[in-house]
Amino acid sequence: MSSDAVLIFTFSPIQSFIAEARRAADLFTGSAILSELAKASAKAIGHSRLVYPASLNADAPNVIVAIVPDAQAQNIASNAQQAFLTRWQTIADSARCQFSGLTDQTFDAIWQRQCDRYWETYWAVATIDEKGYAEAYNRARQALDAAKRSRLFDQVEEPGIKDTLSGVREALHPVNQTTYQQVKQFWHSVATKKNLSPAKLRPEGRERLDAIGAIKRFCDIADRQFPSVSTVAALDFIQRAKHQARNQLGEYRQAVEKLLGQHAYRPSNDPDWPFDGDLLYLETLTPHRLEDSYGLKQPDPQNLIDARKHLKALYEAVNDTPSTYYAVLALDGDSMGERISACLLQPNPQQAHRQLSASLADFADEVGKIFQNIPSCLIYNGGDDVLAFLPLSQALTMAGALVQAFIDVAKNKAPTPGTASAGIAVVHHLHPLDAALRAARDAEKHAKRVDGKNALCVTVLKRSGEHETARVKWDGLPVVVELIEQLKSGGLSSRFISDAVLSLRAIPASEPAMLEDELRRQIHRHRDEAKLSSSDVNVLAQSLTTWTLSLPGQIEELRRWLGVARFIARETR
């Protein structure tokens, strides 16, 4: 009787591949490529054999666990590896054909070197013997970790002018075009001859791509629409303009079409506003920005004046301007290794592991439902991992809905309960994207340092002034939301924040009664009596005090949250 084996298959690099992005579409396409490669590997192994992931309907994770016939394990792993490489080659070829007529042997050599040596695949197999699935899984996991630590790959030299996405690999170029100006001129010709919009490639050779960056930018997967971060930041304004000022929005749209002419590109099919969100900001309507972002040199002065006039009229009609900040959300399940270990201690560990995987697939389905009103903002949704862009006004409530869905699914459908933690980076729409992504991941790690986890960390990267970071357990999130709403509605003036931050320095953490009295005094002093009654003052002071005592840093953490709340309220008012 033939025995079975546990097969674990994975690949890398992951984080660097995602993080090498200049625009939101790069980030989305990079994540989609990773999912496509994982799905190809999983399908080669066989869906019926999969333990994790339980479903390939959502984005696929980069670790695959399966039960395979022991005698066929090596062949199945090799097939998975080949399927991975074949899918990568297909994706790469779909991008490579966009350069027809612009390449030579030097270009092809750089392309092939970078494509062939980029990925590392690893797999490990352990026979399921009389000790059972749990012991075999642990042996396979240990063997895989050892293989990854071996770092058995050739060093690759990357000479010459570097690309503008990673900054570490050689930019693609033909023979005898090796200086900075020559490489820049080559990429200028790529943009010109292919008639590419600035959304695909910045003009004048200001973007120089290596093979990996070119694949992200030009492969067939990159044809999917994804909004820029400027569009995400302006989403609330766009919706209000459609409902409150459709005529003024239409007049401004026409002014933009006249101003940009052939340089206008439409990333959306929205009939009311098909353009990028950055055109809703006055600072974009300058000769320098129009040339840099749209390739429009020397815009017609009168058309530019008219466009600015119509945009200001739109602001007046909406009685608002678009927020200049948006949120990057990174959410991850807590202690997933411990949850898997707990499954392996169950009477039927294989079934428990499958059940955990199925619950994560159910969570991915719930994430899709939560994002159904803004689906284009969801970058990655697979396993216990979610990455998304959000309008600032929705960041906290969406994060709360996601983690509640995770907890509910774990409670009702998983063999072990589970929680999740998240990091939110609040960043300006012109902030470098790689730095924004790094800030969100750092915030997520900071949240996971809270005892017991199940926490949120918000980091505000102000364009000027000090950054602010604050943490909270999820059950305290409604207090944060209420505080922000009071500041937005005018129930509390912003002076409450500055005065409270100052006065709380003198309150010892060991005196909750003193803390509540001071909060009550400051709230009463800075309230709008028509919007915040005396009884509301008492309730708010009490809830803030109780919440403060549950915070990781108590009063000091409250002071941080006051600063974060004021900023979010001001930017979303």
Note whether 56 and 385 are within 8 A (CB). no
Q: CA 434: distance to chain centroid?
A: 10
- The rounded distance, in Å, linking the Cα atoms of 99 and 112 is 14
Alpha-carbon gap, residue 11 to 35, rounded angstroms: 11
pLDDT given for residue 19 in this prediction: 86
How far, in whole angstroms, is CA 342 from its chain's centroid?
30
- pLDDT per residue over 248-270, tens digit each? 999 999 999 999 998 888 888 89
Q: What is the DSSP string of 265-317?
A: --S---SS--S-GGGGSGGGSSHHHHHHHH---S--HHHHHHHHHHHHHHHHH
Residues 112-124: b if buried by 16+ CB within 10 A, e if exposed: ebbbeebbebbbb
Average pLDDT over residues 8-18: 93
**Nearest CA among 549, 422, 396, 562 for reference residue 481:** 396
The predicted-structure confidence for 207-245, as pLDDT tens digits, reads as follows: 999 999 999 999 999 888 789 999 999 999 999 999 999
Q: How confident is the model at residue 573 (pLDDT cuts 50, 70, 90)?
A: confident
Q: Which long-range contacts (CB under 8 A, 24 or more apart) does 236-239 make?
A: 236/322, 236/323, 236/391, 236/393, 236/572, 237/280, 237/318, 237/320, 237/321, 237/322, 237/323, 238/272, 238/273, 238/277, 238/280, 238/322
**Cis previous bond, 375, omega within 30:** no
Determine the pLDDT at residue 234: 96
The Cα–Cα gap between 59 and 386 comes to 10
At 21-79, the pLDDT tens digits run 888 999 999 999 999 999 999 999 999 999 999 999 999 999 999 999 999 999 999 99
> CA 185, 186, 192, 198 torsion: positive or negative?
negative
Contact in structure between 424 and 399 (CB atoms under 8 Å): yes
CA dist., res. 340 & res. 344, Å (int): 6
Convert the pLDDT of each residue in 304-313 to its tens digit.
Answer: 999 999 999 9
Q: How far apart are CA 144 and CA 137, in angstroms?
A: 10
Using the predicted structure, report yes or no on whether residue 375 has a pLDDT greater than 80: no
Question: For residue 320, with 0-12 CB atoms within 10 Å meaning exposed, 13-18 middle and 19 or more buried, which class applies?
Answer: middle
User: Position of tokens 């990357």?
Assistant: 158
Q: Where are the beta strands (DSSP E) in 383-500?
A: 385-391, 420-428, 455-461, 468-473
- Residues 112 and 476: their CA atoms lie apart, in Å, by 52
Mean pLDDT of the chain: 93
Question: For residue 1, is pLDDT > 60?
Answer: no
Closest CA to 380 of 366, 370, 391, 367: 367
At 194 the pLDDT is: 78
Least confident of 37-46, 396-405, 500-509: 500-509
Q: Which amino acid is at 363?
A: F
What is the total residue count of the chain?
573
